[in-house]
C-alpha cells in the first residue's frame, strides 16, 4: 500500500514538470449512492487499474458530508455485502441448519457480480475492515488452493454430512442393500428435482463397501467444486486481484477467515478494561460507572449492536477484544442529547447523564439508528 502511495506521489511530482504525465489520486476513491451502491461500485471498480487496488480505499456517499477516515469505509462494506448477499439476486444458497451460504449454481446473475464480491472481500482485508460474510471454512480453503473435505460438508449441510459419515462408519458388508445409493446427487431446480451423475455412468454404479469413500469424495467435490466452478473462479479472480501474492500463502484457512470476518470471542469486561477516556471523563466518573452498569445489563444482541454502532462491525478483530480500543469523551449539551459515535476512531461522545434510565433510553435509541453520516 505504501509503495502504491509513493508511486502516485512520484507521478504527481513529475506531472508538475512534465505536462504529458497525468496527476493521480494516491487513494482508490469510490463515489456511491446508497440507493444504487452495487451498480455504482461495479462501475468504478470495472474501470479501476490493477495498481489502484493497492492504494488505500476512501468511500464517499453522494449527498453526505462525512470525510472517510475509516468509518464511511466500514459502512460501505456492511451495506454492499448486505445488498450482494440479498436473496433477490439468487447468487447464494442459504442453508437453514448451519445459517451459512454457498454459491448457487442456479443463479441468473453473470460472473461480474461474483468477481465484484471477490474484489470487495479482498479490499476489506487489504483495508483492515471486518465484513459480515457467512461462508463456511471451505471458501477460505479454496482461496488458498486447499481441497474441501467431509468436515466442510458437515459444517455447511450438517444432516447430509452426518449421513455421509454414517455411510463410511457402517460396519457390515451389506452397504449396497442397506443404503441403496448410486453415484448420483439429487438437486432442486426451481421447484423440480434433477438427478446429476457424480461420475461417468453414475446412475448405474451402486455404492458399496469398497467404493463408498469414492462416493463421499465425489459428493463433496460436486458441492464445493464442480457445481460452482465458473462462479468461484470469478470470485477467486476478484479476490486475488487485490490480495494475491506470496504473503497470502502464509495463512491457514481459519486465519484467513478470521481476517475477513473477525471473531465472536466476546469478553465485555476486557472491553471495559481497555477503554480510554477523554475530556472530563475518567474510569471512576459517575457517568462512566453508570454507562458500564447499563452496558453490562444489555442483552447480547444489544451489546453486539453497540459494537456495530461504534466500530462499524459487530465482530471483533482477529487478535481479540484486547486489540479493540474504545474511547469515550464527554460532550456538551444536556441530557436530551443522544450519544454520538465516530466509527473512524471507535470514539463515543457521551453526554453527562445523571440517571441510569435516561442513559439506558438514550443509548438504546442511538444504537437502534446506526446507519448514515452527518455533521454534528
CA atoms of 304 and 306, how far apart (whole Å): 5
Q: Count CB atoms within 10 A of the CB of residue 280.
A: 12
| 233 contact partners, CB below 8 Å, separation of at least 6 | 111
Q: Count CB atoms within 10 A of the CB of residue 234.
A: 20
Q: Which residues have a catalytic role annotated?
A: 344
Cα→Cα distances 79→32, 75, 331, 375, Å: 11, 6, 29, 20
Place of cell 513529475: 14
CA atoms of 4 and 253, how far apart (whole Å): 27
In order, the DSSP letters of 79-108 are HHHHHHT-GGG--EEEETTTTEEEE-TT--
CA atoms of 340 and 325, how far apart (whole Å): 17
Amino acid at each position: 500500500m505504501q509503495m502504491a502511495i509513493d508511486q502516485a506521489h512520484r507521478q504527481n511530482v513529475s506531472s508538475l514538470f512534465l505536462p504529458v504525465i497525468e496527476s493521480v489520486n494516491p487513494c482508490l476513491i469510490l463515489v456511491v449512492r446508497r440507493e444504487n451502491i452495487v451498480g455504482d461500485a461495479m462501475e468504478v471498480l470495472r474501470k479501476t487499474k490493477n495498481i489502484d487496488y493497492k492504494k488505500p480505499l476512501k468511500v464517499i456517499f453522494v449527498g453526505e458530508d462525512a470525510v472517510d477516515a475509516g468509518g464511511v469505509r466500514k459502512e460501505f462494506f456492511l451495506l454492499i455485502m448486505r445488498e450482494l448477499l440479498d436473496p433477490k439476486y439468487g447468487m447464494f444458497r442459504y442453508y437453514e441448519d448451519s445459517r451459512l451460504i454457498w454459491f448457487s449454481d442456479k443463479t441468473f446473475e453473470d460472473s461480474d457480480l461474483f468477481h465484484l464480491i471477490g474484489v470487495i472481500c479482498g479490499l476489506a482485508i487489504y483495508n483492515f475492515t471486518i465484513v459480515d460474510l457467512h461462508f463456511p471454512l471451505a471458501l477460505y480453503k479454496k482461496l488458498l488452493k486447499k481441497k474441501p473435505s467431509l468436515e466442510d460438508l458437515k459444517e455447511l449441510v450438517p444432516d447430509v454430512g452426518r449421513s455421509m459419515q454414517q455411510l463410511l462408519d457402517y460396519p457390515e458388508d451389506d452397504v449396497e442393500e442397506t443404503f441403496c445409493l448410486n453415484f448420483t446427487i439429487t438437486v432442486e431446480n426451481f421447484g423440480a428435482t434433477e438427478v446429476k451423475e457424480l461420475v461417468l455412468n453414475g446412475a448405474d454404479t451402486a455404492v458399496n463397501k469398497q467404493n463408498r469413500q469414492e462416493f463421499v469424495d465425489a459428493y463433496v467435490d460436486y458441492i464445493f467444486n464442480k457445481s460452482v466452478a465458473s462462479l468461484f473462479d470469478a470470485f477467486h479472480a476478484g479476490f486475488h486481484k487485490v490480495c494475491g501474492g506470496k504473503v497470502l500463502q502464509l495463512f491457514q484457512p481459519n486465519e484467513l477467515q478470521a481476517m475477513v470476518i473477525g471473531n465472536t470471542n466476546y469478553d465485555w469486561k476486557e472491553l471495559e478494561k481497555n477503554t480510554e477516556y477523554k475530556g472530563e471523563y475518567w474510569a471512576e466518573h459517575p457517568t462512566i460507572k453508570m454507562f458500564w452498569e447499563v452496558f453490562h445489563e444489555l442483552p447480547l444482541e444489544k451489546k453486539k449492536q453497540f459494537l456495530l454502532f461504534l466500530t462499524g462491525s459487530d465482530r471483533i478483530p482477529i487478535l481479540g477484544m484486547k486489540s479493540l480500543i474504545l474511547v469515550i469523551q464527554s460532550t456538551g449539551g444536556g441530557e436530551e442529547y443522544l450519544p454520538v459515535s465516530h466509527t473512524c476512531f471507535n470514539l463515543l461522545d457521551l453526554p453527562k447523564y445523571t440517571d441510569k434510565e435516561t442513559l439506558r433510553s438514550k443509548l438504546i435509541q442511538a444504537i437502534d439508528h446506526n446507519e448514515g453520516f452527518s455533521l454534528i
